[in-house]
Structure 1
Amino acid sequence: MIDKLAWIHIVDRRILSTRSKGKDTYYIPGGKREQGETDEATLIREIREELSIDLLPGSITFFGTFQAQAHGQAEGV
């Protein structure tokens, strides 16, 4: 299983998604937790790295848990 955190940002009933240059797959921005890192610290770091946006500590609210087959990975991952 891959443990990832994602930033769900909804404005006017639209959800923010992104894609890497040259790729055709969109995704919700976020990433993998580093050892000992909190959920909040992970999202702040990943969003800064991916989108050059600084999230404010304390502004993040848990949205839910989602489990699915990882894109491009063997079944069960």
Structure 2
Amino acid sequence: SQSNNSTMMKVQKKQPTTTQVAPPKLIPLRPVIPKPSSITPNRPLVPPIIDRNNNSVTSLKPKISTTKNSSVIVLD
């Protein structure tokens, strides 16, 4: 029974650590998305472009997105 306990403890320790490490990594990625909020000033200037490009390309380069749809690939 002792050997079982030791293995259980190890498994439990490994699981919590992985779960804790995963959330922190996801959180940093989310903050990066808010960045566009600073670009909000540009949004009002070109609202039609945002609708055409699903707000994805406009956040980075609204003018280029309208001229060339291929710009979406470049952003990716």
Greater Rg by CA: 2
Answer whether TM exceeds 0.5 for this pair.
Answer: no
- The structure that is helix-richer by fraction is 2
Bigger relative CO (Cα 8 Å, ≥ 6 apart): 1
- TM-score, normalised with respect to structure 1: 0.20
- The structure that is strand-richer by fraction is 1
